[in-house]
Amino acid sequence: MLTDWDWILFDADDTLFHFDAYAGLQQMFRRYDVDFTHDDYTAYQAVNKPLWIAYQNGAITALQLQHRRFVGWAEKLRVEPQELNGGFLEAMADICLPLPGAASLLNALKDNVKMGIITNGFSALQKVRLARTGFMDHFEFVVISEQIGVAKPQPAIFEHALTLMGNPSRQRVMMVGDNPDSDILGGINAGFTTCWLNADGRAQPETIKPDWQVSSLAELQDRLLPDGVEGQ
């Protein structure tokens, strides 16, 4: 029931917003007359994913991640890596779409519970997407790892959010996210109730056990508002 919570915190990418990196990269590379293929994307992810793990573990900074993932392409195209990274984030903002059920859920919750966002995404993209979708006004705060220098699941980013919330009872805070390794593990370690948005039917990690698991935001809305309150 919604009355069990003082705060509900959301991840952004693939929790509130569809994050189609392949489409974004294709759009960005078209500006350089590059036909970015699926094989190119596989090679990109072989570089990008370990960088994200290192970033979440605190081994590299956000700036280093954004630079290093485009070094190879920058050399081929004779441009700076930050130019490609900026173009990618701009393309991702251009193709931004909320996930199904996001608008209904947020509208249903906004007058009944306080909400915030904790995201490992980058400031340039997150702020534009929140503004374009009209979601910004639904949230009391947006905590972006790039701005505070610590990423989920590190405890400091959740403690920062707790301070912004005025240090409520941790048991009355729910963390909702699609990534078990950052959103759910971080929320568990912070003492929050956790809800895993598992839209793809992935197997649950043996060592990470969310309190709730839902397959869609519509299902989460039904669990939080079983009396059928609808978003306007």
Task: Report, as residue numbers or ranges, the catalytic residues.
Answer: 11
Beta bridge partners of 144: 119
Instruction: Kindly provide the b/e burial profile for residues 103-128, where b requires at least 16 CB atoms within 10 angstroms of the residue's own CB.
Output: bbbbbbbbeebbbbbbbbbbebbbeb
* CA-based end-to-end distance of the chain: 20
R_g over Cα of the chain = 18
Please state, in angstroms and rounded to a whole number, the distance separating the CA atoms of residues 163 and 170. 11
